């Protein structure tokens, strides 16, 4: 309810409290605010509607007098009735109980706050894991989508695994990474999240244990948890996920598979060394532990290309490889791919057809044209230059303003700097303080619930001007509240 767009008209002949009363009553009468819906506190409503708190009090008193809402100490104000309830003798459905009992877990509260704030252009987004609109190839995309005579475009459903033409193109593209994959072993998906969701419901039993690096992007999405899976973190060092204890941990915790981001890890930016990749693959093969390799950042290297993916060394079909254009070409296209053994791909394709009947045919057409024309590689060269400049700029700001209060490593690609605060300031509390100043952060607790020392700093989204102003203000906040022993 905090995303209300409506505002009362201050130049109207109808009093403000009456406008607010009418609006809220309409929401209740139409069933948009069902019985049990919690009404925000008076102070929050006053801010949302941009009026005095006394105006809100009058409107709420009238709704209470109508028997539509009720306030109780300790539980706030909730909708208790609507016109249908007043007219009907049969009880109405309690949608709030349905919402609470849904199978898919809700995001943790801080992620919900982040998602809401990201929709507000007034915030400086220092942690957002996507490209700035200024870096996306909008004009080139317009030309790509101008369909020429002789080019075939299907507007109907496409076969379960995705467009054969796109899968052939992706197969050729993967060869540049050392991955040999026939079109039959490739499934086109609607981004990396859908890839993980298909794996969770198509291949795993409830109660399975997923190993991952800690901290991990997996902790910020509830794909596996909502399917009844357990997550277990394995520490990272500067070469990537540590392999020395995987065998013992697998036997102790009955591990089912391992999820890893070897290239420019989210959130730490770590690049797994070639030596560690070979070691990890050998350990997992020995322990019969399948690997999900998430390589959505693999094309975003700066000085030199990363070591070959785990999948390039996989001769036993032990690795499911996930790729995507969401972090490079466009998050809006929603196109990615899974590469794996053919029986697995066919199983996941069957599940995908049951859930969405295939990814967008127009998006698949666009991605194929980008990849096969050479425009994608040309764009990547330009993008790497821009991201490298942004990384270097951000590092200089950190050196100037954060050298006494934080530590970090310089990433060799991707979007992220994993900033460790040394001041004793809780990053969870810092999140709230920064939000009041118009700065949106991604604290470490998003990626590891007990981590209150780290921030994921992204140089990919905010403009150079906003990066500088936001980071300088953040440094001041940290220093000020450190001195106050927050």
Q: Contact at 8 Å (CB) between 126 and 462?
A: yes
Give the distance, in angstroms, between the CA of residue 59 and the centroid of all CA atoms in the same chain.
38
**Tens digits of per-residue pLDDT, 113-126?**
898 889 889 999 99
| pLDDT computed for residue 486 by the predictor | 46
How confident is the model at residue 28, as a pLDDT?
A: 87
Q: Specify which residues 72 forms β-bridges with.
A: 76
Q: Could you read off the pLDDT of 158-174 as tens digits, one per residue?
A: 889 999 999 999 999 99
138-373 has which CATH code? 3.40.640.10
Q: Which residue has the tokens 């993008």?
A: 383
Q: Highest mean pLDDT range out of 148-157, 286-295, 354-363, 424-433?
A: 286-295
Contact (Cβ atoms closer than 8 angstroms) between residue 309 and residue 278: no
Q: Flag whether pLDDT at 188 surpasses 80.
A: yes
Asked if the model's pLDDT at residue 86 lies above 60, the reply is no
Q: What is the mean pLDDT of residues 213-225?
A: 91
- The yes/no answer on whether domain 109-130+379-483 falls in CATH 3.40.718.10 is no
Q: Give pLDDT tens digits for 32-47.
A: 888 888 999 999 999 9
Q: Can you give the residue ranges of every domain in the chain?
A: 16-101, 109-130+379-483, 138-373
Q: What is the mean pLDDT of the chain?
A: 91
Q: Is a pLDDT exceeding 90 seen at residue 83?
A: no
- Closest C-alpha among 458, 398, 456 to residue 131: 458
Comparing 175-184, 224-233, 389-398, 454-463, which segment has the lowest mean pLDDT? 224-233
* pLDDT (0 to 100) of residue 151: 64
| Percentage above 70 pLDDT, the chain | 92
Q: For residue 90, is pLDDT > 70? A: no
Can you tell me which residue has the tokens 């899968």? Answer: 167
Note the pLDDT of residue 107. Answer: 59
pTM surpassing 0.85? no
CA dist., res. 189 & res. 335, Å (int): 6
pLDDT value of position 103: 63
Q: What is the C-alpha separation between 231 and 235, in angstroms, rounded?
A: 13
* Contact present, 68 and 25 (Cβ < 8 Å): yes
Architecture of domain 16-101: Orthogonal Bundle (1.10)
Asked if pLDDT for residue 302 goes beyond 90, the answer is yes
What is the pLDDT at residue 484?
Answer: 66
- Contacts of range 113-122, beta carbons closer than 8 Å, 24 or more positions apart: 113/431, 113/435, 114/440, 114/442, 114/446, 116/2, 116/3, 117/435, 117/440, 118/440, 119/3, 122/438
């Amino acid at each position: 309810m905090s995303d209300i767009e409506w505002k009362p008209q201050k130049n109207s002949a109808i009093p403000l409290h009456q406008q607010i009363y009418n609006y809220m009553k309409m929401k209740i009468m139409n069933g948009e605010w069902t019985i049990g819906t919690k009404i925000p506190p008076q102070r929050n409503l006053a801010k949302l509607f941009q009026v005095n708190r006394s105006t809100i009090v009058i409107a709420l008193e009238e709704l209470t007098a109508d028997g539509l809402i009720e306030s109780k100490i300790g539980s706030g104000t909730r909708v208790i009735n609507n016109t249908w309830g007043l007219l009907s003798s049969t009880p109405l459905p309690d949608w709030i109980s349905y919402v609470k009992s849904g199978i898919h877990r809700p995001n943790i509260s801080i992620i919900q706050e982040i998602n809401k704030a990201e929709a507000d252009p007034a915030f400086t987004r220092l942690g957002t894991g996507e490209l700035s609109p200024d870096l996306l190839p909008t004009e080139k995309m317009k030309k790509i989508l101008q369909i020429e005579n002789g080019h075939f475009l299907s507007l109907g459903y496409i076969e379960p695994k995705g467009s054969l033409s796109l899968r052939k193109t992706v197969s050729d593209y993967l060869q540049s990474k050392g991955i040999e994959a026939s079109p039959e072993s490739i499934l086109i998906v609607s981004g990396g999240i859908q890839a993980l969701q298909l794996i969770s419901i198509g291949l795993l039993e409830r109660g399975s244990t997923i190993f991952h690096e800690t901290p991990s992007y997996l902790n910020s999405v509830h794909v596996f948890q909502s399917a009844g899976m357990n997550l277990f973190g394995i520490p990272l060092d500067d070469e990537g996920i540590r392999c020395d204890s995987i065998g013992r941990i697998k036997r102790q915790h009955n591990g089912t598979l391992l999820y890893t981001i070897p290239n420019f890890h989210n959130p730490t930016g770590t690049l797994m060394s070639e030596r560690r990749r070979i070691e990890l693959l050998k350990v997992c093969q020995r322990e019969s532990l399948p690997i999900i390799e998430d390589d959505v950042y693999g094309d975003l290297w700066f000085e030199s290309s990363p070591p070959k993916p785990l999948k390039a060394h996989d001769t036993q079909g032990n690795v499911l490889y996930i790729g995507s254009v969401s972090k490079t070409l466009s998050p809006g296209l929603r196109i990615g791919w899974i590469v794996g053994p053919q029986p697995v791909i066919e199983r996941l394709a069957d599940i995908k057809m049951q859930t969405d009947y295939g990814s967008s045919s127009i998006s698949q057409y666009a991605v194929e044209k980008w990849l096969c024309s050479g425009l994608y590689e040309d764009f990547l060269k330009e993008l790497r230059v821009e991201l490298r400049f942004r990384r270097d700029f951000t590092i200089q700001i950190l050196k100037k303003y954060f050298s006494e209060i934080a530590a970090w490593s310089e990433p060799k690609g991707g979007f992220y700097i994993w900033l460790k605060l040394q001041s004793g300031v809780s990053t969870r509390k810092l999140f709230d303080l920064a939000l009041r100043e118009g700065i949106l952060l991604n604290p470490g607790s998003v990626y590891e619930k007990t981590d209150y020392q780290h921030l994921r700093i992204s140089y990919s989204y905010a403009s150079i001007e906003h990066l500088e102003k936001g980071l300088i203000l953040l440094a001041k906040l940290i220093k000020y509240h450190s001195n106050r022993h927050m």
